[in-house]
């Protein structure tokens, strides 16, 4: 079993409005994401700097560190609060995230501290990844040094990278970690998905 940590602390500048509350299938995107993971995890957490807009959702609400230090700080808060040794961390702007892909990733963990997909260009997808609680010290050290990049702590942990040749077996088009950043992205996605 693993926890699910949904990071909802972004500014949504390019979108022009809070992506967590975009209308997805007649309800807020964030509510759909939370409910999608509730059947497979007894510990769904939502991390944000301001928790008031998220009251009433079926997730444990956990504040971002203060002052905010970006998604790496949100990941730290989520792992610190998670009830399980492992947590799946994701951004709130991934409407096609598939719990079956996450379950497959969890099966690949072995002795790693993190399980991270590589995109088609070989770049890591740190906000559609599994992290073990053992990452907390490495994240805290990176933050203490003023590093905010999501990959800043990777050199200090054991990462199991899953290349396209592996993940295409469960997600042939790589849709699970597709995120939306702009109104154009959102419109395109809605046209593709009935």
Binding positions for Mg(2+): 93
Give the C-alpha separation, 114 to 159, whole Å: 5
Q: Report residue 5 as tokens.
A: 């940590």
Strands 124-132 and 114-118: antiparallel
CB 102 within 8 A of CB 33: no
Give the C-alpha separation, 125 to 178, whole Å: 10
Closest CA to 19 of 159, 190, 189, 181: 181
Let me know if 20 is exposed, middle or buried by CB neighbors in 10 A (0-12, 13-18, 19+): buried
Which residue ranges are tagged as binding site?
Answer: 7-9, 19, 64, 93
Which residue ranges are tagged as binding site for GTP?
Answer: 7-9, 19, 64, 93
Give the C-alpha separation, 191 to 109, whole Å: 35
Q: Which residues contact 155 (CB under 8 A, 6 or more apart)?
A: none
Q: Report residue 189 as tokens.
A: 């996605």
């Amino acid at each position: 079993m693993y926890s699910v940590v949904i990071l909802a602390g972004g500014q949504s500048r390019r979108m022009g409005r809070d992506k967590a509350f975009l209308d997805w299938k007649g309800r807020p995107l964030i509510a759909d994401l939370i409910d999608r993971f509730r059947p497979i995890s007894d510990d769904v957490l939502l991390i944000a700097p301001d928790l008031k807009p998220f009251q009433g959702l079926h997730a444990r609400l956990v504040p971002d560190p203060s002052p905010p230090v970006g998604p790496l700080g949100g990941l730290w808060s989520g792992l610190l609060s998670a009830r399980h040794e492992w947590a799946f961390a994701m951004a709130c702007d991934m409407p096609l995230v598939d719990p079956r892909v996450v379950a497959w990733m969890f099966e690949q963990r072995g002795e790693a501290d993190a399980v991270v997909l590589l995109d088609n260009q070989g770049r890591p997808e740190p906000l559609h990844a599994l992290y073990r609680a053992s990452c907390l010290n490495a994240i805290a050290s990176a933050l203490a040094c003023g590093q905010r990049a999501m990959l800043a702590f990777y050199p200090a942990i054991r990462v199991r990278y899953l290349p396209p040749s592996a993940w295409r077996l469960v997600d042939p088009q790589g849709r699970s970690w597709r995120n939306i950043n702009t109104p154009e992205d959102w419109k395109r996605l809605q046209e593709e998905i009935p």
